[in-house]
């Protein structure tokens, strides 16, 4: 991320259009650690809902992502990319857990069957 007082110097010189997300946490140091979740599912029926990601490092520290405000649509063998953020950064991840929710209180519960998944740090792309 970039400090708020330096965003213009970092982004305006770019020659191509740039999307910028200024998400902050409510705790010091107020920064978010962004990840791109790239997921492919193999459900036969279309599923629409929200994904929450929980990551754990080898020391047992756990952090949970903030739920996206927009639902994603999952179709069989189609890749979906979701931007997700965490309030803390974990260096060496040992476990990734996903929770799928439709946010409905009534009706049948659906499973999301995952064929392939990749979680990539946007703050530290070399990970």
22: buried, middle or exposed (CB in 10 Å: 19+, 13-18, 0-12)? Answer: exposed
Nearest residue to 86 (alpha-carbon basis) of 112, 52, 113, 115: 52
pTM surpassing 0.75? no
Q: How far apart are the first and last CA of the chain?
A: 16
Residue-wise pLDDT tens digits, 56-92: 999 999 999 876 677 888 999 999 998 888 888 888 8
Q: How many CB atoms lie within 10 A of CB 10?
A: 13
Residue 73 phi, psi dihedral angles, 5° rounding: -110, 125
Residue-wise pLDDT tens digits, 8-50: 666 666 565 555 555 566 666 667 788 889 999 998 888 888 8
Which domains, and CATH codes, for the chain?
A: 29-121 (2.60.60.20)
Distance between CA atoms of 56 and 58, rounded to whole angstroms?
Answer: 7
């Amino acid at each position: 991320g970039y400090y708020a007082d330096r965003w213009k110097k970092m982004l305006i010189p770019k020659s191509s259009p740039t999307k910028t997300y200024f998400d902050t946490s409510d705790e010091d140091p107020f920064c978010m650690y962004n990840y791109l979740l790239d997921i492919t599912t193999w459900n036969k029926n279309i599923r629409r809902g929200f994904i929450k990601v929980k990551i754990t490092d080898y020391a047992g520290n756990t952090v949970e992502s903030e739920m996206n405000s927009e639902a994603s649509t999952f179709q069989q063998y189609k890749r979906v990319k979701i931007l997700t953020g965490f309030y803390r950064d974990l260096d060496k991840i040992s476990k990734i857990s996903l929770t799928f929710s439709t946010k409905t209180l009534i009706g049948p519960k659906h499973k999301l069957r995952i064929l392939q998944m990749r979680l990539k740090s946007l703050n530290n792309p070399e990970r």
